[in-house]
Amino acid sequence: MSQVAALQMTSGGSLEANLQQAQSLIEQAVKQGAKLLVLPEYFAYHGCGDISATAQQEQYSTGPARTFLAEQASYHQVWIVGGTIPVAIPDDERAMASCFVVNDEGREVACYQKIHLFDALVDDAKGRYRESDNYCHGDQPVVVETPFGKLGLTVCYDLRFPELYRYLADQGAEIMVVPSAFTATTGEAHWQLLLRARAVENLCYVIGANMGDRTHPKQPTWGGSAVVDPWGNILSELDDGQGVVTAGIDLDYLKKLRQKMPVHEHRRFSVVKPSH
């Protein structure tokens, strides 16, 4: 059984302070025995303003947030799913919301670019969300081999699109990770419900690492970070604020469930990644 952790943050407008907070939570998770750590969406740059300038900095592995992930992973000898980091793309002022997976040697072994962008009206202090103003859609689902199992990489708003999770499960994913900055309004209504649904539908573990600042005056986030098992049980969860949730991942248990209830074999419709 492998120990995993979801890190819940309350990032603000300072890159330095955000990284210090992330470092402290990483240290807590490591002390609790976690070997796979998942950071929230925008963990380093939430509230930091100029996304375009930030994305230029992070275009290369020497960017401050990417360097931080590599150093922390190698120092603690853990795998880290690095939330999202804005990364510049050629010939476009917008960026890609990029989720890097860094191994225990500090090497980037995978990168998922967020596919579903949050353009929505929400009944909160911000009201109108338009991720597509600053980001481009990714189009490639990613599954990565790790010592803990096969990870399916998703981010925040992806959680509302079950076909992505079914596609990842078809590609062998056993653990779905969901770095997020789910709003307080939508999170209260749907966050845990969706984490559990994605776990049950695909008989997989789900690790949801969310921002947790429900009283933020401009952009409140829900928190509720959790690890969910393939039967939909909440193994560990956190309410609001900063903190760490840890739990064990048991792939033998997962395989037994899939043998007893082979839903993947019983399907009558397939999910095919659309061409672009």
Catalytic center residues: 41, 114, 156
Going 47 to 51 to 53 to 55, the CA torsion angle's sign is positive
Are the C-beta atoms of 223 and 8 separated by less than 8 Å?
yes
State how beta strands 175-180 and 205-210 pair. parallel
Residue 119 phi, psi dihedral angles, 5° rounding: -110, 100
Distance of alpha carbon 59 from alpha carbon 96, whole angstroms: 10
State how beta strands 135-136 and 175-180 pair. unpaired
Closest-CA residue to 154 (of 186, 202, 94)? 202
